[in-house]
Amino acid sequence: MKKILVVLLLFTGAIGLAQEGVKVKGNTITVKESAPVWPGCESSDDKKQCFNQQLMQHIKENYKYPRNEAGDFLRGKTTVALAIDEKGSVVVRSVKGENAKINEAAETMIRKIPKMQPGMKGGKPTSIKYTIPLTL
Supply the CATH number for residue 118's domain. 3.30.1150
7 in any annotated domain: no
19 in any annotated domain: no
pLDDT value of position 96: 97
How far apart CA 26 and CA 29 sit, in angstroms, is 8
* Beta strand ranges found along the chain (DSSP E): 22-25, 28-31, 33-34, 77-84, 90-97, 119-121, 124-126, 128-135
pTM exceeds 0.85: no
Average pLDDT (76-98) is 97
8 in any annotated domain: no
Judge whether 19 and 120 are in contact, CB under 8 Å.
no
22 in any annotated domain: no
14 in any annotated domain: no
Q: How many CB atoms neighbour CB 49 within 10 A?
A: 11
pLDDT value of position 93: 97
Residue range(s) defining the domain that contains residue 46: 32-135
How far apart CA 127 and CA 89 sit, in angstroms, is 9
- In the chain, how many domains are there? 1
Amino acid type, 90: V
Judge whether 33 and 84 are in contact, CB under 8 Å.
no
* pLDDT tens digits, one per residue of 90-133: 999 999 999 999 999 999 999 999 999 999 998 899 999 999 99
65 in any annotated domain: yes
